[in-house]
Amino acid sequence: MRISFMKFATSLFSICLLFLADMAFAQSPQARVYSNDFLNIGAGARAQGMANSLVSGTDDVYSIFWNPAGLARVGSDIQLGLNHTEYFQGAANYDFGGIAFKLKDSAAFGVGVVRLGVDDIPNTIFLVQPDGTIDFNQVSSFAVADYAVFLSYGRTIGKLRLGGSSKIIYRNVGPFAEAWGFGLDAGIQYDLGKFTLAAMGKDITSTWNAWNFSLNDAEKDVFLATGNEIPENSIEVTLPRLVLGGAFKTNIGSSFSLNTELNLINYFGFQQNSFISSNIVNIDPSLGLEIGFRNVLFARAGLGNVQTQTYFDPNGNTERMSVQPNAGLGLKISALTVDYAFSDLSNQSVVPYSHIISIRFDLGKDIIEKNLSQGKNNDE
């Protein structure tokens, strides 16, 4: 046990060293610090029902996104995961699809794809002709979409699980611009009785996106005539984040189970409206709760997105703390698991709430044998 804990501490220390080394390199005046925000949405309704507090408790195909170390806990030969969400009353669609393969040596490999897209956007650049007339035949449409492909691996070493992901980013703005990027994630989990400790380093070497703009001369003329800047090829960087988590799981009697998790999301390099805010590190906490009944029915709740917001009134500016509650349900029937989450509960006046649905299929020889065994027992 002492050796395993030393491995956990050494792995965590290594991730922190990567963060410190990369922060000095990433503070370039040519780089932009905000990018790839679509990868902050999440994957899987189980996690989102718990306010995305799942870096320690993740144990299925959705570990590709939350913590690749959790892939080592996949409970079947093959797992498929699908997640679909609509935002802004269907204007934007967010999808995740993943597959995980359990290997023989206490390890698993996974592939996941994320897409956030807004389709059928009117292109009105040439709607107004040079003579001032309007020609609707010149209106076309285009799509704006962000993609990420994850290649993930997780492995168990005693009470310790290690995992890593490489991700390829592709962002497209119709025929006008596109960007390619690459990044690395690394995660660890450590079992300590009923507790599980975890750390997840996102973009541990920073994720760099190279943007290429391809406007023709006619489009550039419209930009200049309307007082808009002509965009230039550029590099933007996603700075590292470190998520620390602790989960507690226990049984209540013979029918119920309780799973709670606290996450601390650490941002580096710039100050923002976090629960703990500074120029060095910003910390956002999130808390999730899951109650299970006979491993079939699940009820979930979570609190996250804790921020300090400034409100303006006649007597001066006032600061208030805001928090976003989430809720969710889950149903597991044999090899099929269906999860539902209700998010953005506190921001309905700004952003309409979202219904999140995800499914998981367990496939493989082990699942078939288990179902056959259960069928024989029922016959008897």
Distance CA 22, CA 17 (A): 8
What is the number of other CB atoms lying within 10 angstroms of the CB of residue 90? 8
Structure tokens at 114: 């994320």
Distance CA 307, CA 283 (A): 10
Whether pLDDT at 96 is above 90: yes
pLDDT confidence of 349, banded at 50, 70, 90? very low
**Can you say whether the dihedral through the CA atoms of 139, 140, 143, 144 is positive or negative?**
negative
Predicted local confidence at residue 368, as pLDDT: 55
Spatial contact of 327 and 49, defined as CB atoms under 8 Å apart: yes
CATH code for the part of the protein at 2-379 = 2.40.160.40
Whether pLDDT at 144 is above 70: yes
Predicted local confidence at residue 375, as pLDDT: 47
pLDDT confidence of 207, banded at 50, 70, 90? confident
Distance CA 62, CA 115 (A): 15
Residue whose structure tokens are 């309905």: 348
- DSSP E strand boundaries for 269-375: 281-293, 297-313, 316-333, 336-343, 354-363
Whether pLDDT at 147 is above 70: yes
Whether pLDDT at 353 is above 70: no
Most confident segment among 130-139, 205-214, 289-298, 303-312: 289-298
Residue 66 falls in which region: left (phi positive, over 0), alpha (psi -120 to 50) or beta: alpha
Predicted local confidence at residue 341, as pLDDT: 92
Residues in the chain: 380
Residue 62 DSSP symbol: T
Mean pLDDT, the chain, rounded, equals 80
Structure tokens at 296: 């079939």
Distance CA 220, CA 229 (A): 9
pLDDT confidence of 27, banded at 50, 70, 90? very low
Phi, psi torsion values for 363, nearest 5 degrees:
-125, 165
Q: Are strands 354-363 and 78-87 parallel, antiparallel or unpaired?
A: antiparallel
The CA distances from residue 133 to 136, 174, 359, in Å, are 10, 25, 51
pLDDT confidence of 26, banded at 50, 70, 90? very low
Predicted local confidence at residue 14, as pLDDT: 44
> Which residues, other chains included, contact 45 with Cβ-Cβ below 8 Å and sequence gap of 6+?
83, 328, 330, 339, 340, 341, 356, 357, 358
Spatial contact of 128 and 76, defined as CB atoms under 8 Å apart: no
Share of the chain above pLDDT 70, in %: 77
CA dihedral defined by 342, 348, 351, 357, rounded to 10 degrees? 10
Structure tokens at 77: 């030969």
Comparing CA positions, the residue from 295, 277, 297 lying closest to residue 285 is: 277
Give this prediction's pTM: 0.80
pLDDT confidence of 126, banded at 50, 70, 90? low
Distance CA 53, CA 264 (A): 9
- Summarised one tens digit per residue, pLDDT across range 214-268 is 877 776 776 777 777 777 777 888 888 899 999 999 999 889 999 999 999 888 7
Most confident segment among 61-65, 271-275, 315-319: 61-65
Q: Give me the residue spans of the domains in the chain.
A: 2-379
The continuous run of DSSP H or E covering 48 comes out as helix 45-49
DSSP 83-106: EEEEETTTTEEEEEEEEEEE-SSS
